[in-house]
Structure 1
Amino acid sequence: MTAQSASPAPPSAPARSGAALLVVPDLIGGLVALALGVYGRVHGPTGIALNLAGFSSPGSVKSWLATVASVFAIIQLVSALVMYGKVPRVSAPSWIGDLHSWSGRIAFIVAVPVAVHCLYALGFQGYSTRVLLHSIFGCLFFGAFTVKMLVLPKRGLPGWVLPVLGAVVFTLLVAIWFTSAYWFFGTFGVHR
């Protein structure tokens, strides 16, 4: 017996499945969504509003910021489709990854003041179906966004995970826009 065959091979660590890699990010994202909803519900609305010079009302500021975030989310969607080769006859330029990353960052940065205003000044409301859905979509958006950001650097995930998470985040942002800015512009008109 040789020395090489006498020593047993060290046990290898079991390979973690893609599903196992999603458990912790999913739990954290769920906790983020839940914490935002609970905070919004138990925190008494202050009525202190986000307002910027040049806008006619806090609702106008929120609606325009939500619209800007949605436009950048659309840029992110289109850039993702180009990156994944889903747009026929279009080859991905070298800068498409940077466009995708920066459009997502800008969309998120623009959405944060709107969310802070909604949570702090208005709270989690349910006095109408539209408002209840808006509150739910807002909490779910930030939970799903958290999951996506935690999953992004992970290796060994199935190829469908990031596109599905991106689609969920995008869909929630569009739902937020329809239950807020679209309603606002339809009710009060498109103005600053």
Structure 2
Amino acid sequence: MTGHTGAQKRRPTRTVAVLLAALLPVAVTVGVYVFGRTHTPDYTKGLFGEHGVAVVDLKARLGSALMALAVVQLLLGLWMYRRLPGAGAAPHRVPPTHRLIGLIAFLLSLPIAYQCITAYGVDFTNSRVAVHSIAGCVLYGVFVAKVLVVRSRRLPGWALPAVGGALVTAIALLWYTAALWFFVGSAPGF
């Protein structure tokens, strides 16, 4: 008999899971940041055949769709975990719908992010652009964190709502500093 309890034997595995859940998202965020800072931007880069103001308009519309999907994801997540006031228990179709909408949102984000990072890179010319650039880098790190946290049963219960909230917050910041800014001419505070 070694005298170790079950909790003591599981601690290293939990520690590894926590480190992985923390380090891999940071590595993704730093990788996107480094790429965005070191490559040469191509300001003429288009998106789906659109260029100039038309590409900005297209990204604003796609970004708004992404923001709407993030709100739906937030509501579905709250419903699944019985945190949506007055909604009761979520039907069995809600979790797969949540996963499908998450996949659609992720795929929708890719062309927007690709155009942004290749056309503009990570830039700090003003506060709006700086917040947008950092939120764009953080978005994919937080996405990786959410996937890891969802797959792990060893992380604390607060981890999933924390990374889910961070993901919605990153998307909201991106929308606020780009799509809203484009549609109204400038976002309040920037």
> TM-score under structure 1 normalisation?
0.85
What is the CA–CA distance in structure 2 between the aligned matches of 1:117 and 1:165, rounded to whole Å? 25
Equivalent residue number for residue 9 of structure 2? 14
Aligned residues: 180
2:178 paired with 1:183: no
Alignment RMSD, CA only? 2.2
Equivalent residue number for residue 151 of structure 1? 149
Contact 1:51/1:57 (8 A) holds in 2: no
Question: Runs of 5+ in structure 2 lacking a partner?
Answer: none
Equivalent residue number for residue 103 of structure 1? 101
What is the CA–CA distance in structure 1 between the aligned matches of 2:163 and 2:15, rounded to whole Å? 14
Larger Rg: 1
Question: Which among 49, 73, 79 is matched to residue 76 of structure 1?
Answer: 73
What is the CA–CA distance in structure 2 between the aligned matches of 1:170 and 1:19, rounded to whole Å? 26
Quote how far apart the aligned CAs of 1:9 are: 7.1
Quote how far apart the aligned CAs of 1:151 are: 2.3
State the Cα deviation string for residues 112-167 of structure 1 (Å, max 9, x = none).
Answer: 11111111111111111100110001101111111111222111222111111100
Matched-pair identity in %: 32
What is the CA–CA distance in structure 1 between the aligned matches of 2:62 and 2:167, rounded to whole Å? 17
Equivalent residue number for residue 32 of structure 2? 36
Quote how far apart the aligned CAs of 1:10 are: 10
Question: Which among 73, 79, 88 is matched to residue 85 of structure 2?
Answer: 88
After the TM superposition, list the runs of 4 or more consecutive aligned residues in structure 1 that deviate by more than 3 angstroms: 8-13, 17-20
Quote how far apart the aligned CAs of 1:85 are: 0.8
Quote how far apart the aligned CAs of 1:70 are: 0.9
Question: Runs of 5+ in structure 1 lacking a partner?
Answer: 1-7
2:114 paired with 1:119: no
**What amino acid is aligned across from residue 15 of structure 1 in structure 2?**
R
What is the CA–CA distance in structure 2 between the aligned matches of 1:156 and 1:25, rounded to whole Å? 11
Equivalent residue number for residue 20 of structure 2? 24
Quote how far apart the aligned CAs of 1:185 are: 0.6
**What amino acid is aligned across from residue 157 of structure 1 in structure 2?**
L
